[in-house]
Amino acid sequence: MLDLRQSWKIGPVEIPSRLVLAPMAGVSVQAFRRQGRRFGAGLVCSEMVSCAGIEHRNERTLGYLRVGSDEHPLAIQIFGSEPRMMAEAARMVAAAGADIVDINFGCPVRKVTKTGAGATLLDDPERACRIVAAVADAVDIPVSVKMRRGLENGSRRCLEVGPRLVESGAQTLTLHPRSARQMYTGEADHSLTAEMVSIVDVPVIASGDVTSRARAQAILATTGAAAVMVGRAAQGDPWALREIVDGSAEPPTREEVVAELVLFMRETVRELGERRASGFLKKFYGWYLGRGRFQRPFKQELVQLETVADVEARLFETVPGARFVLVRIEQEQPEVDEVLLDDMPISIYGGG
């Protein structure tokens, strides 16, 4: 049985564990990625970044290119439908300090697919290959591609397109074997993952329904994939990552839950600014405090508070011991340097 703590490589980049933290829109901010690394993720990924936003130097888009020294190895994911623009975005990603540039051919959301990007590109393999080739030619870091099985239920398009993407320069593939139509319903069909592993000569990352150590080991054993990708299971539950990697199944105490949430809140305010962070964090309160850890009325109360500082005060009022756990966690944090491109019109602090 594969040891999930075993290292592996994407091109020259060494990944210290077989667990990859998924790129998730509206979730995978720097605070989320840093936390994931602390809890055992070998590779963390940014949320998808618009190549058009990068080309037009959109302030908020460029804010996604912050890279902390404790995030490595890090993949920054880009999406778009024009090879030239994707190549330029990839250059910016490399300049920002990413270890891997990841291309999104899997997003099923309408506002992405209607532009010809995301999962739509699986039905346009010629353009998809041109995009991968343009990106691979533009940067010296490895190129990865995240994809779905296809647009329609039952599609096997990924098996047709995957080998061509590798020929075009992709050094690893991540397969989420649901269709775009399925979104996140039903089950991921990892028999497709096993087939993909058998027909490409690069590492394949298995994504979809990785919710426990037992499930991760079963997927790795039956597919031959190099690693598993965890997404929704890690939302508000970094302890799930630790359980998957090394079997540490001890549930967190209420003090640990509140301490990690407060640290996440503070990091997010630093990254996004108070105004953006206040709205962004509301979904995380339910994620962290759910799973029977706190009563529903308490979670609902936090969402109604006006500022992040008010939420922090209420959390500490409810669980005073969390302050001491937070001090310990903060003392264990490494000092972090961040890379910022000279022509980015944003501050590292205060939120792009």
Active site residues: 107
User: Residue 148: which of 177, 121, 172, 124 has the closest Cα?
Assistant: 177
**C-alpha dihedral over 75, 77, 11, 148, to 10 degrees?**
120
d(CA 321, CA 329): 13
291 C-beta neighbours (distance < 10 Å), count: 15
239: which 2 tokens? 């302890």
Cis amide prior to 345 (ω within 30 degrees): no
In residues, how long is the chain?
A: 352
d(CA 143, CA 140): 9
d(CA 224, CA 196): 10
d(CA 302, CA 308): 9
| C-alpha count within 13 angstroms, C-beta hemisphere, residue 92 | 29
d(CA 243, CA 241): 5
d(CA 22, CA 155): 23
